[in-house]
Amino acid sequence: MVPLARLAYLLCGDRHLAEDLVQSCLVKLYRAWPRIESPDAVHGYARQVLLRCWLNECRRPWRRAESRTGIVPDQADDGADPALGVGPDVKESLRRALAEIPPRQRATVVLRYWSQLSVTETAAILRCSEGTVKSQTARGLAALRAAVTRQGGDAVLPKESIR
């Protein structure tokens, strides 16, 4: 549950929307349960349903959507890990940069770099070709890099989909 909710959170950047997306996902998952091949397939199918719910959400008029501005964590930010060279400034730059890139590029980057899915697995979830995943990842990283640079961040993102 928590990993699914965190995936939703990375996709949409809003806690309440993420919870709503997971709720919608669970409803669809329950109804589709008899068709799911095996327990191992549940995770992939759940991610697929979640992505679909979120991409549909992206079509909604903005004024019907909950506020997604100035996202503030519910708790104090004590998660920075200096050992990994990722400080709070980098995290905030990344947050704002993610909000600027198109939904499918954002989804691809999150699935590849946070969920650690392969190109094949990501293509199955997004229902597209592996080539599309690679190009969307490359473009997403380029867009992130441009956004972070505009914000004055000193983080340099990976060149492209090198994984």
Q: Under rule CB under 8 A, which residues in 35-64 are in contact with another protein?
A: 35-38, 44-45, 48, 52-53, 55-64
Closer residue to another protein, CB minimum distance, 119 or 155:
155
Task: Quickly list DSSP for 48-64.
Answer: HHHHHHHHHHTTS-GGG
CA 7/CA 113 separation, integer angstroms: 11
CA 74/CA 149 separation, integer angstroms: 27
Number of residues that bind another protein (CB under 8 A): 91
Output the six-digit token pair for 4: 């699914």
Cβ atoms of 118 and 125 closer than 8 Å: no
Site for another protein in 54-113 (CB under 8 A): 55-64, 67-70, 73-75, 77, 79-81, 84-86, 90-91, 94-96, 98-105, 109-110, 113
CA 86/CA 80 separation, integer angstroms: 6
| Position 131 contacts another protein (CB under 8 A) | no
Min CB(29)–another protein separation in Å: 8
| Position 149 contacts another protein (CB under 8 A) | no
Closer residue to another protein, CB minimum distance, 19 or 118:
19
